[in-house]
Structure 1
Amino acid sequence: MSIKKPIWQQPWGYAESFIISFGVLCIGSGLELVLPVNQSTLIYPFNLILGLSFFILLVLAHVLFRKTKIHAFLSGIPLTISLVSALSFMVILMGILPQIPSQQNGLIQQLGLNRMTSSYPFLLINLFLLIVLGFVSLRKTVPFKLKNWGFVCSHWGLWIVIFAGGLGSGDLRRLRMDVYENKTEWRAYDDQDRYCEMPLAIKLKDFLIDEFHPKLAIVENKTGDLYEAQKPSMIMIEKDLICRLQGWKVKVEEFYMTSGRAGDRYYQLSDFGAAPAAKVRVVSPQADTLQGWISCGSFNRPHESLKLNEQFSLVMTVPEPKRFSSEVTFFTPDGKKQDATLEVNKSVTVNGWKIYQLSYDEKKGRYSDKSILEVVRDPWQPYVYIGIFMMMIGAVYMFWKGRESVSE
């Protein structure tokens, strides 16, 4: 018959570990309510000084207390699992709750759940996890044994990822720039529309966009909502298209991607603001025939729909972008000039800044003369990548050694 160990009796195990982790979350939440995090102090060189001081204290604590029970608990599996569980719980919350600034003052905002990575609970759990991982890694590092190098590499890699990711968050700059064709811009702005001068300038030579054809759709006349009684609810327009849409038979007799109205019809037109238009013939379920022009319009052209009955109308949707890019020239303070093409998810690095194609003037669509760029600087990112690489190498080695021991 097994005797259940009273809680808080040495050696501590999983029960005490999960209670401590829960207590850290509660303490962090309490601090968040009374003392919101001010991240402005965690910038270079203060974050580097703080990080070096923390590492030195961690090594000293390991040397002085490595033979104590508290060190054995802090470097044990139960506390590690409980902290990883708490961190996983917060990551799940990050996926559920939108991580965006808010002017509201509800419980979510007060607890920092809408900015999880800068909240006290997240910071305290990561700090605690750094201590635990540090003790575990130091215990396996000194004295060093060659057979432990995979374990040491993977654990130090994870330690570096958390350490560099946490301290580097204050140095991360994520800004936007609105650049207009044939104009040079050197100012960027943040989420609060605060402007700052950049150590580089960008001239937009040309903004290019490819669009899909617009789609046919049926909407309710009273609400303007899309009618989706049957699938598909929208069909891409092609010349001479014949299809069935929500019970109506539709034939596209004429179609222009750029057009202008003159009199009672549309004509092909390559003018600024010219919009797509199509001449359609519609046969209702009751065999009634309707004919007319529809257009999605543009920023300087009105849209036009075909009324099917008192309830529904046939409309053309606004074309969706297929691909958009910016032809730009970068200017740096040292007099260098660099031409580049910016696309979504394809960045260009200039003077330590990564520049991405983000958006454009969606009201003007294909006629946009404005390109919205995102400029990002994260000087700690290379160290995070080093940590990830170490984790991968260590994990592969331990997996391989595990297979060898099984085969033996």
Structure 2
Amino acid sequence: MKKRRKKKLWQFPWAYKESVLFLAGLCFTGIVLQVLCGEFPLELLSYPVNIYCGLFIIISLSFFSFWSNNYIYQWISGIPFSVTVLGFFMLLSLFMGLIPQSALDEATIFSQLIIKLGFNSMTSSWLFAIVYSLSLISLGALIIRRSKKFKWSDYAFYLNHFGLWMILFFAGLGAADIKKFQMYVNKGETEWRVYNKNGESLELPLAIRLNDFVMEEYKPKLVIIDKKGKPLPVENPDYVQIEAKHSVTSIMGEYEVLVQRYIHDAMRKDNYFEERKMTGSCPAALVKIKSNKTGFTKEGWISSGSPYIIYQTLQLDSLHTLVMTQPEPKKFLSDITVTKKPNNKEKVSEQISYLLEVNKPIKIGDWSIYQYGYDEKAGKVSNYSSFELVYDPWVNYVYIGMIILALGSISLLWKGNKTNSNYDLG
């Protein structure tokens, strides 16, 4: 009986061993480039270069498919290479999840190494660019190879793989065209300009007018501080939320606090507060506090204050003071009017009004506008609002890819249930 000859390494057809070694070599090359050259020059792939690169990949894979018997083509479009590329891609995703993708403190040698290798900014590293490119090529070759023997019954395969390829293609090659800006707009003013990383002023095709800034707040909290201003107990400060009028709360297990009156929008008048909803108003409460240990009681007004009104506290003794914290924002939004510059076909500028909230961006053409921030020191009387403007001309194609991928996933589930049903009936 003849012994089966063991295939030598790098002898065609290539399988998993060759695929792993090949990708490991390219990844090592990417790390070397990262150390020597810094981040991958993503800006070089800006429009129209990314279009040319995409067309080159598609045309090259299509022509290459005519030599389907070639070992290299069979390897690139085969399962071993695809699975290996997917494994490397998942490994990089794991690194991205475990390592903060932000600026790191260079105080430690480990942090310096992470920064040098580009692991804290993975999507802009040479390593990621190489693995991403191989994923695009492998998935594209697999789709073309399967399409040459097209079958309608394989619709779930085509939907899944083509949807995923579209996501990778447009999200990756379109990344160089994404632009992000922050715009600060004062209340009652209109702003067209933003500033780039070099501090240079840029004029955008969109203008934002801030009509009003509105903030809803949670009720403030009560806490006892020492003479140095530190909340007590020092190890675990006891903050108590004000619930409503006549509510009784316990602080530090020793003091009972009765809220006799609470006004969220108050103005000071002599030695007390009255309700007035106007600029500069602040939360205030008339409280009565009692010590369960000594029987000591005291009554008075306390307030968190505002940029226009000084805060007020209730002194308990030489060591303890009852104070009210600043109310935390519950929701804030900006009443804005967006003006679009007219293009060659339009003669009149388009103006649209929005109520812009956090995590509820508005989309105008290829631009998305997000509520970014406000003057945190001024709080609800902030005189300006800041916005993040993101330009992404490819995002709609990414969404189409997601829809196709979702349809493919549903098709797989439906097809699987149908197969199981047929099997049970048989």
* Same topology, TM > 0.5: yes
In 2 relative to 1, CA 291–96 (structure 1 residues): closer, same or farther, beyond 3 Å? farther
Q: Give 1:284's match in structure 2, choosing from 283, 291, 311.
A: 291
The offset of 1:203, in angstroms, is 1.2
| CA–CA distance in structure 1, aligned partners of residues 174 and 220 of structure 2 | 44
The offset of 1:178, in angstroms, is 0.9
Q: Give 2:64's match in structure 1, choosing from 61, 66, 69.
A: 61
For residues 226-271 of structure 1, what are the alpha-carbon distances to aligned partners after superposition, in whole Å with 9 as ceiling and x for unaligned? 6487797432342222112321211112222233445544343445
Q: Please report the RMSD computed on the Cα atoms of aligned residues, expressed in angstroms.
A: 2.9
Greater alpha carbon shift after TM alignment, 267-276 vs 159-168: 267-276
Q: Give 1:331's match in structure 2, choosing from 339, 342, 346.
A: 339
| CA–CA distance in structure 1, aligned partners of residues 279 and 407 of structure 2 | 56
The offset of 1:148, in angstroms, is 1.8
Greater alpha carbon shift after TM alignment, 106-115 vs 263-272: 263-272
Identity percentage of aligned residues: 34
Q: Give 2:128's match in structure 1, choosing from 122, 125, 138.
A: 122
1:398 aligns with 2:406: no
C-alpha contact (below 8 Å) 2:221/2:239 kept by paired residues: no
Greater alpha carbon shift after TM alignment, 209-218 vs 258-267: 258-267
In 2 relative to 1, CA 162–219 (structure 1 residues): closer, same or farther, beyond 3 Å? farther
Equivalent residue runs for 1:2-401 within 5 Å: 8=10, 10-36=12-38, 37-64=40-67, 66-101=68-103, 106-190=112-196, 194-219=200-225, 222=228, 224-225=230-231, 227=233, 233-247=239-253, 248-286=255-293, 287-308=295-316, 313-334=321-342, 335-401=349-415
In 2 relative to 1, CA 81–171 (structure 1 residues): closer, same or farther, beyond 3 Å? same
| CA–CA distance in structure 1, aligned partners of residues 196 and 245 of structure 2 | 45
| CA–CA distance in structure 1, aligned partners of residues 167 and 270 of structure 2 | 66
Q: Which amino acid aligns with 2:121?
A: R
TM-score (ref. length: structure 2): 0.85
The offset of 1:164, in angstroms, is 0.7
| CA–CA distance in structure 1, aligned partners of residues 5 and 311 of structure 2 | 79
The offset of 1:282, in angstroms, is 2.1
The offset of 1:311, in angstroms, is 6.2
Q: Which amino acid aligns with 1:397?
A: S
The offset of 1:29, in angstroms, is 1.7
Aligned to 2:345: none
In 2 relative to 1, CA 227–42 (structure 1 residues): closer, same or farther, beyond 3 Å? farther
**3-state SS of 1:114 partner:** helix
The offset of 1:308, in angstroms, is 5.0
The offset of 1:351, in angstroms, is 4.2
| CA–CA distance in structure 2, aligned partners of residues 282 and 26 of structure 1 | 68
Aligned residues: 407
For residues 174-193 of structure 1, what are the alpha-carbon distances to aligned partners after superposition, in whole Å with 9 as ceiling and x for unaligned? 21211111111001235665
TM-score (ref. length: structure 1): 0.89
| CA–CA distance in structure 2, aligned partners of residues 223 and 69 of structure 1 | 75
| CA–CA distance in structure 2, aligned partners of residues 4 and 291 of structure 1 | 91
In 2 relative to 1, CA 102–340 (structure 1 residues): closer, same or farther, beyond 3 Å? same
C-alpha contact (below 8 Å) 1:277/1:294 kept by paired residues: yes
Q: Which amino acid aligns with 1:205?
A: N
C-alpha contact (below 8 Å) 2:231/2:237 kept by paired residues: no
Greater alpha carbon shift after TM alignment, 358-367 vs 317-326: 317-326
C-alpha contact (below 8 Å) 2:139/2:165 kept by paired residues: yes
| CA–CA distance in structure 2, aligned partners of residues 157 and 226 of structure 1 | 56
